[in-house]
Structures are given as C-alpha cells and as structure tokens.
Chain A
Amino acid sequence: MHIKIDEISKEFGRTAALHPVSLSVPSGALVALLGPSGSGKTTLLRILGGLEYPSTGRVMYDGQDATGLTVQERRAGFVFQNYALFKHMTVFENIAYGLRARAKSQRPEQAEIVRRVNKLMTLIQLPDIASRYPSQLSGGQRQRVALARALAIEPRMLLLDEPFGALDARVRRELRQGLREIHDTTGLTTIFVTHDQEEAMELADLVVVMSMGRIEQIGRPGDIRAKPASVFVRDFITV
C-alpha cells in the first residue's frame, strides 16, 4: 500500500515533537526512519499506526484520507520496541489474538485460526513453541512472535519501533535477514524506526533521516552516503 504523509505535525502540550513533515512511501518499500532519540521518529510511526493523532496534516493510504481512521480501522501490523507480548497468554494465544478480536462475521473458524497460526509460526521459523509463555522465550524469539502476531491480522502495512534494539549483535544480524525475507515474501509496505545508521543503511530501500522533529533527508542508502544533505546527516551516518 502506498502511504503518503502530508504536512503532519504533532505537539505534546507546548513542545513540538514533529514540525510539519511530508513523506511519500511507495507501495512495497522497506523504509527506515533513522535518527537520534527525540528526533520524532517514533511519534511519526505511532501517528501512522493510529496510536497518536496528528496536530495538523493528513495521512493518505493509497490516495485515500486515513487521518480520521481509528487504530483498529488502520489495520497496521505494529511491532513495539519491547514487543508488548501478552504475558499471560501462550505464544499461540498471542498470535491468534487479532483473529479472535474480529467481528463475528469476519472471524475465522477455530480450525482456520489454528491453521493460520501454525503457518505464521513456520514463517518465523519457530514451529514448536506454541504452548510457551513469553517469559520462557529468548529476546530474539519474542521479537519474531511479535512479528507473527502483527502479521496475523493480514495487515495493510508493517510498522516496527526499534525492532532490533533489545537484542545482542549476533541475533540482530540474523533477525535483520529474517525481516528482509518476510518483507520480500509478503510484499508489505514496511516502515521501521532505528537509531542505528548501519542497520538502516543495510536493510532499507529508502532511509529517512530525522532530527529534532524534522526530516533532514530522504534517499536511498547509497545516495545518502554519497551526498549527505546537511552537516547533521553527514555526522550522523559517519561512525
């Protein structure tokens, strides 16, 4: 799905978290929102997912105004920074949650739910952990379960907030590859937030560099490296 952000701004009380920003994300792209903490990247992601409403501006999905859609109507698969798995539910229940939450007329039969959850658990390469609780999983496994849970609702896009932030370096590399593969298999427009320039450059088709609530530069990794648009971008991507 093509996502367009049109002059979105966000204020919390008197502080501006986002100055009006605009961005167009082509359908099927894998985009990184890159910036230091406090740059407004997570706020922008939450506005896209419908968890915050913008102070001004519009969000367009495939040319249709989606600004007023509720978080449920957005159908955005959201992966939270610490995954926010339901601790009191098994992995199976976690992944099935979105399907069970559907209105009765659209809710799949129990057998169909089992089939779909199993398929997703194969996709994330963890077919045998259905009956475990999140506290019994490793960090990398939790992240993949969170991804499967988000994919279960057949989302229109994938939004990930620092998806690799809480993981050690080796697992991080593995899961980066995993996300790339899932993106390529599903073809979903995917936006992830990161403060790690290496991660953004390696994984994304398009990198959006942000600072202090503004977009500093939008471009392909190679272009940003070759021609940083500002001193901030140059300093931030050179480590």
Chain B
Amino acid sequence: MSDATPLNDGTVIHHDPRAFRRPTEESPAARWTLIIGVVAILAVLVYAPLLVVFAEALAKGLGAALTSLTKPEARSAIRLTLTVAAVVLPLNAAFGVAAAWAITKFDFRGKAFLITLIDLPFSVSPVVAGLCLVLLFGANSTLGGILVASGYPVIFALPGIILASLFVTFPFVARELIPVMIEQGRLEEEAALTLGAGGWRVFFTVTLPKIRWALLYGVLLCNARAMGEFGAVAVVSGKIRGVTATMPISIEMLYNEYLSVAAFTLAAVLALLALVTLFLKTALEWHFADQLAATHRH
C-alpha cells in the first residue's frame, strides 16, 4: 500500500517510489561525476605520492632499505625528530588548552588581539619565523652571545629546533578547541561550581572530558606538523649531520646526494609515523564509540 494514496472519493493515485528523488539528492550523473572526480584527485595528490615513497624506498630490496636505517645519521635523525615531538606536543597541548579556555570562558580586553597572535604562525612563513629566532638567539645577538658564552646555545642546537617547532605548531590545538568550546558554552562549568567544585576539579572533571576528542585531533595535527616541519627548522638547526638534522632535513640532504634509497626509506618511516597516529585515532574512536554517541560530539 505504500505506493498508493487513496483519496476521499475512492480513487487511488499510484506512484512509483523509484521515480522519486529525495529533495537533497542530485541526479545519478552528477553524483558519479563528483565521486569519480574526488577519487581521481585523491589518487593523484595523496595515494600516488605515498606509493612512490614506499616503492622508491624498496627499489633495491628490503635489505638495502633496512641497512640505510641503521646508519648513525638516520638513527640520529629519527631520535631527534621523536625528541622534538615529545617536547613540543605536551607543551603546545597545555598552551592550546589554556588559550582556548581563556578565549572561550572569559571576556577581557585585548581578546581579539590574542586570537590574532595565536593565528600568527599560520600567516608567517616558517622560514621568516626561523630567521627571527636566529636574530634573537643567534651568536651575534646580545642574548644569544650570553647564552653561547654560558654553554647553552639555542641556534644550531636542540633548543632552537624545539622553539621553531613550538612556533609553527602553536595554533593547531587552540584552533581545534575554540569552536568546540564556544559551542559547548559554560553552563556545565557553572553547574559544577554551584555543586561546590573548585576551578581545577571543574576543569578536569567537566571541561577536559568534554573537549578530549577535539584535543586529541589538535594534538595529532600538531604532531604531524612538528615531525614534518622543514622551513623553520632548516634555518635554526644549521643542518649539522647527525646532530641537528631532523628527519625532513636528513631526507633532503640524502636526496641531494643521490642516496635515493636512504632518502626514501627515511621518508617512508616519517610517513609510517603519521599513519600510526591516524591508526591510533581510528582505534580510539572505535573503542569509545559508545561514549562518542552519548555525548554527540567529538
């Protein structure tokens, strides 16, 4: 009976449900054109380069690829990149949460300026940011001179690389959190306050659980960028082989020296690290699917 509508006078209008399209649906031709277009673009821009990286890495066999990773230079680059990420992630997670908290839960003078400052790394070229650090902390500046003299050089050393990575990855967590926190408002926090909870308890039991998915996404983005950053790090690191060369910088140096297996193997490891974070994210989402559904929010 679902395809027949009886009218009051007894006549029945038959309509074929297949002939109807939902108002929000496009014609099959338009749909398939779009779908094929998207798949083609993804294939060319995303999947093909990824495949090439792995193909080039394995061009002379798995053995050659693995041997290139055991070289001290490669091992040092991997260690350095992981160290930088391990320092940058918690710091920028904390800064990002603090900034988003201040911007969304309080009204104060200079808020718009603060938001602009947070976005600054998006609009400033990483190379310029690196140069600014060199001017500020380099051996020729007053501050840099004092630091070098007292045995704590910043430029051409680990602290500079960390500072540059902190700068370029600063907006990711805050930018991810701000819209979520604006949408959630402050009512639940106020409710917790009226129930006698102090500021820290409210933060850890109410605010943090509500934003944890957005925070996770922000941290993952931050991680990808911190491990992959080239421009700013290239300027401040001095590219000292085995000392201040991170993975992206080692990849470039190896490639320029026509060591393509070594270069692409290191690139493949970097890509794998990114894939692992993606996999972790998906696994967490799958594991906490109930909770996600219950809170209606990532």
* Chain A residues with a Cβ under 8 A of chain B: 49-51, 71-72, 74-78, 80, 82, 84-88, 97-98, 101-102, 133, 135-136, 149-150, 152-153
Are B294 and A97 neighbours in the complex by a CB distance under 8 Å? no
Are B194 and A78 neighbours in the complex by a CB distance under 8 Å? yes
Cα distance, A84 to B209, chains bound together (Å): 15
Q: Name the B residues within 8 Å of A77 (CB-CB).
A: 194
Are B296 and A75 neighbours in the complex by a CB distance under 8 Å? no
Closest 3 pairs between A and B when the two form their complex, measured CB to CB: A98-B195, A84-B187, A101-B197
Ordered by A's residue number, 11 sampled pairs between the chains whose C-beta atoms are within 8 Å are: A51-B190, A72-B198, A77-B194, A78-B194, A80-B187, A84-B188, A87-B296, A87-B297, A101-B192, A133-B294, A149-B195
Cα distance, A98 to B197, chains bound together (Å): 7
Cα distance, A104 to B201, chains bound together (Å): 13
The verdict on B94 contacting chain A, using a C-beta distance below 8 Å, is no
Residue of A nearest to B199 (CB): A72
The minimal Cβ–Cβ distance linking B215 to chain A, given in whole angstroms, is: 13
Are B201 and A88 neighbours in the complex by a CB distance under 8 Å? no
Which of A71, A86, A149, A152 interacts with B193 by CB under 8 Å? A71
Q: Name the A residues within 8 Å of B190 (CB-CB).
A: 51, 71, 78, 80, 84
Are A49 and B194 neighbours in the complex by a CB distance under 8 Å? yes
- Other A-B contacts than A80-B190, A80-B191, 13 sampled, CB-CB below 8 A, are A51-B193, A51-B194, A71-B190, A80-B187, A84-B187, A84-B190, A84-B191, A86-B206, A88-B210, A101-B192, A101-B197, A136-B294, A149-B195
Q: Name the B residues within 8 Å of A82 (CB-CB).
A: 187
Number of B interface residues in the complex (CB < 8 A):
21
The verdict on B291 contacting chain A, using a C-beta distance below 8 Å, is yes
Residue of A nearest to B297 (CB): A87
The minimal Cβ–Cβ distance linking B293 to chain A, given in whole angstroms, is: 8
Q: Name the B residues within 8 Å of A49 (CB-CB).
A: 194
Cα distance, A83 to B40, chains bound together (Å): 49
Cα distance, A49 to B195, chains bound together (Å): 11
Residue of B nearest to A82 (CB): B187
Residues in B183-231 with C-beta less than 8 Å from chain A: 187-188, 190-198, 201, 205-206, 209-210
The minimal Cβ–Cβ distance linking A192 to chain B, given in whole angstroms, is: 15
B195, B196, B209, B294 — most chain A CB neighbours (10 Å): B195
B196, B198, B294 — most chain A CB neighbours (10 Å): B196
Cα distance, A97 to B210, chains bound together (Å): 16
Are A88 and B295 neighbours in the complex by a CB distance under 8 Å? yes
Residue of A nearest to B193 (CB): A71
Residues in B131-145 with C-beta less than 8 Å from chain A: none
Which of A74, A85, A87, A153 interacts with B210 by CB under 8 Å? A87
Which of A72, A76, A80, A133 interacts with B197 by CB under 8 Å? A72
Cα distance, A90 to B296, chains bound together (Å): 14
Cα distance, A49 to B188, chains bound together (Å): 15
Are A135 and B296 neighbours in the complex by a CB distance under 8 Å? yes
Cα distance, A97 to B201, chains bound together (Å): 11
Are A97 and B195 neighbours in the complex by a CB distance under 8 Å? yes
Q: Name the B residues within 8 Å of A76 (CB-CB).
A: 194
Which of B194, B201, B209, B297 interacts with A71 by CB under 8 Å? B194
Residue of A nearest to B197 (CB): A101
Q: Name the A residues within 8 Å of B209 (CB-CB).
A: 88
Are A97 and B192 neighbours in the complex by a CB distance under 8 Å? yes
Residue of A nearest to B187 (CB): A84
Cα distance, A139 to B297, chains bound together (Å): 19
The minimal Cβ–Cβ distance linking B217 to chain A, given in whole angstroms, is: 17
Residues in B207-262 with C-beta less than 8 Å from chain A: 209-210
Q: Name the B residues within 8 Å of A102 (CB-CB).
A: 196
Are B295 and A135 neighbours in the complex by a CB distance under 8 Å? yes
Are B295 and A101 neighbours in the complex by a CB distance under 8 Å? no
Residue of B nearest to A81 (CB): B187
The minimal Cβ–Cβ distance linking B49 to chain A, given in whole angstroms, is: 39
Are A88 and B187 neighbours in the complex by a CB distance under 8 Å? no
Residue of B nearest to A13 (CB): B107
B187, B188, B191, B295 — most chain A CB neighbours (10 Å): B191
Are B196 and A101 neighbours in the complex by a CB distance under 8 Å? yes
Are A135 and B294 neighbours in the complex by a CB distance under 8 Å? yes
Residue of B nearest to A93 (CB): B205
Cα distance, A133 to B294, chains bound together (Å): 7
Contact with A along B269-293 (1 / 0, CB 8 A): 0000000000000000000000100
Cα distance, A110 to B100, chains bound together (Å): 35
